[in-house]
Chain A
Amino acid sequence: SSELTQDPAVSVALGQTVRITCQGDSLRSYYASWYQQKPGQAPVLVIYGKNNRPSGIPDRFSGSSSGNTASLTITGAQAEDEADYYCNSRDSSGYVFGTGTKVTVL
């Protein structure tokens, strides 16, 4: 199966913008979905498709994609955005998750 690679950790100042990237061959064929996971909690869907937000997800979360890279951008990061973020896509063997990025809000 394919792999989805993410930077292990990024930090962002309160109110600033942070971009999280996800790279993998499957992204050339399928859109990524993005999940936020806070400690001790189940993942929550924040972005899917080209740039679709489920109901209840703030519009500071946005997504984009180009070639084999998908990106999740948080514009105006808030303290409550501190969490682990995972990308996911379909692939030839079913579904694959990214390695995860820990976002720290300073």
Chain B
Amino acid sequence: QVQLQESGPGLVKPSQTLSLTCTVSGGSISSGGYYWSWIRQHPGKGLEWIGYIYYSGSTYYNPSLKSRVTISVDTSKNQFSLKLSSVTAADTAVYYCARVPTPETDWLSRFDPWGQGTLVTVSS
């Protein structure tokens, strides 16, 4: 079964760029059929969808974060990555990666599976 695992620094300084990687095991990103997504959760708050990437490299971002977000994919490593620039304390959150089927694959959208999440704190 497909499993996802986030990795990256747990502490980022204000104004710098947050960088995280999600490693996929048990399945190949290159197989297609799925969007590979990033989702975050501020401490004690709800879930916020950040964006997704397809294996081809096409991306789609939450309009509220679009100006600062870049999601990329490395199919050779079966990984996809998140970069969030110009971070502030408001970007402190647990960041999750997850898979969602493309509408062409399955019209019934759902995020499954999820990685375990990684806490990123923005502080000097």
Contacts and interface: CB of A to CB of B under 8 A. Distances in A.
B115 A42 contact: yes
A33 B111 contact: yes
A31 interface: yes
Contacts of A44: 114
Interface residues of B, number: 26
Interface string A54-84: 1000000000000000000000000000000
Interface residues of A, number: 26
B110 interface: yes
Contact of A42 (B62, B63, B103, B114): B114
Contacts of B117: 42
Contact of B46 (A33, A52, A98): A98
B46 A48 contact: no
Interface stretch (B14-22, B47-55, B78-86): B47-55
Interface of A: 1, 30-31, 33, 35, 41-45, 48-49, 52, 54, 86, 88-90, 93-100
